[in-house]
C-alpha cells in the first residue's frame, strides 16, 4: 500500500512503513490480534526514529494503532506527533455497528471479505494463498473488533481524518467523532470511493496528503526532515 508514497510526498519527508507480524517478510510470525500488545512492541522499535518532527498515519485498523501509539508515546516518552492522520475508521470512542467478521466460519469469512472489497478478487480464488493469509486477516479484524476504548485526556496535536464517501464500514458521524480526541485542530476530508479509497483514488489522495504535510513543514521554524510513520490495514 505504501511502496510508492515516497515518490509522491514531499522530498523532506521520510516514509517509514510499519511491517507487522504475519505479513510479507514476517509471514512466518503469528499476527497480533490486540491493539495494546502491538503498540507495546511497536513503540520501542520506532523511538530511535523520533529524533525530529514526525506525524503518524493509519488506515482502517491502523488508525487505532496510530492513535494508541500516540497516547503511549505521550504517556511514556513525552512525545507527540505534529499531527495524527487517520483513515477509514470511526473514532475510538464510537461503538462499531457492523457484525464481527473475525470469528466467522471460513466460507462465511471469505464471502464477507469479498463484500468488504479489501482483497483483490483474484487473490480470493487462490486457495493456497488464502490459507496462508486467513490467520493474519482474522487477527486484523479481531484487533479492530475487540478494541475497547479507555478514557485519557485528548491529544495535544491536530487530528485529520480521511474517509470514503461510499465506505459502508464508516459514516460521517463516526468519523467526525475523532474531534473528541484532540484539543487542537480537527479536519475531516472525504474522497470518492469505498473503504480502500486510498488505493483506488491514490493520486488524488496523495496530492491532498502532500498538501497537508507541506502545511506542517511550513509551520516548523527549522528545516525539517519529517517522518511519516504508517500503519498496515486489514
For the residues 155-173, what does the mean pLDDT come to? 94
Which residues does the annotation mark as catalytic? 60
Are 183 and 210 in contact by the 8 Å Cβ rule? The answer is no
d(CA 176, CA 188): 7
pLDDT of 231: 63
The pLDDT confidence band at residue 211, using thresholds 50, 70 and 90, is very high
Residue 215 near residue 2, CB atoms below 8 Å? no
Local confidence band at 98 (pLDDT 50, 70, 90 cut-offs): confident
Contacting residues for 234 by C-beta, under 8 A, at least 6 apart: 60, 61, 118, 137, 140, 141, 143, 144
Regarding predicted confidence, which is higher, 129 or 74?
Answer: 74
Instruction: Count other Cβ atoms within 10 Å, centred on residue 151.
Output: 5
For the question of whether the overall pTM of this predicted structure is more than 0.85, the answer is yes
Domains, the chain, with CATH or none: 5-231 (3.40.50.1820)
Q: What is the pLDDT of residue 119?
A: 47
By the 8 A CB rule, do 193 and 169 touch?
A: no
Please answer whether residues 181 and 92 qualify as being in contact, where contact means their C-beta atoms are separated by less than 8 angstroms: yes
Residue located via cell numbers 464481527: 100
The average pLDDT across 115-140 equals: 73
Mean pLDDT calculated for residue range 40-55: 94
Query: In 90-116, which positions are buried (b, 16+ CB within 10 angstroms) versus exposed (e)?
Result: bbbebeeeeeebbebeeeebbebbeeb
Amino acid at each position: 500500500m505504501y511502496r510508492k508514497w515516497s515518490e509522491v510526498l514531499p522530498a523532506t519527508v521520510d516514509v517509514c512503513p510499519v511491517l507487522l507480524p504475519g505479513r510479507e517478510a514476517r509471514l512466518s510470525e503469528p499476527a497480533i490480534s490486540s491493539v495494546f500488545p502491538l503498540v507495546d512492541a511497536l513503540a520501542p522499535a520506532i523511538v530511535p526514529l523520533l529524533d525530529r518532527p514526525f506525524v503518524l498515519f493509519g488506515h482502517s485498523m491502523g488508525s487505532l494503532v496510530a492513535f494508541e501509539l500516540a497516547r503511549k508515546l505521550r504517556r511514556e516518552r513525552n512525545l507527540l506527533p505534529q499531527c495524527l492522520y487517520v483513515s477509514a475508521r470511526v473514532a475510538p470512542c464510537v461503538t462499531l455497528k457492523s457484525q464481527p467478521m473475525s470469528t466467522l466460519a471460513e466460507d462465511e469469512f471469505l464471502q464477507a471479505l469479498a463484500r468488504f472489497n479489501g482483497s483483490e478478487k483474484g487473490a480470493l480464488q487462490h486457495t493456497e494463498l488464502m490459507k496462508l493469509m486467513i490467520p493474519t486477516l482474522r487477527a486484523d479484524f479481531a484487533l479492530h473488533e475487540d478494541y475497547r476504548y479507555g478514557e485519557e485526556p485528548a491529544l495535544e496535536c491536530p487530528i485529520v481524518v480521511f474517509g470514503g464517501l461510499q465506505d459502508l464500514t464508516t459514516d460521517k458521524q463516526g468519523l467526525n467523532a475523532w474531534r473528541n480526541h484532540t484539543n487542537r485542530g480537527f479536519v475531516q476530508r472525504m474522497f470518492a470511493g469505498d473503504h480502500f479509497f486510498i488505493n483506488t483514488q491514490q493520486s488524488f489522495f496523495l496530492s491532498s496528503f502532500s498538501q497537508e504535510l507541506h502545511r506542517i513543514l511550513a509551520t516548523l521554524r527549522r528545516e525539517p526532515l519529517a517522518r511519516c510513520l504508517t500503519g498496515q490495514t486489514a
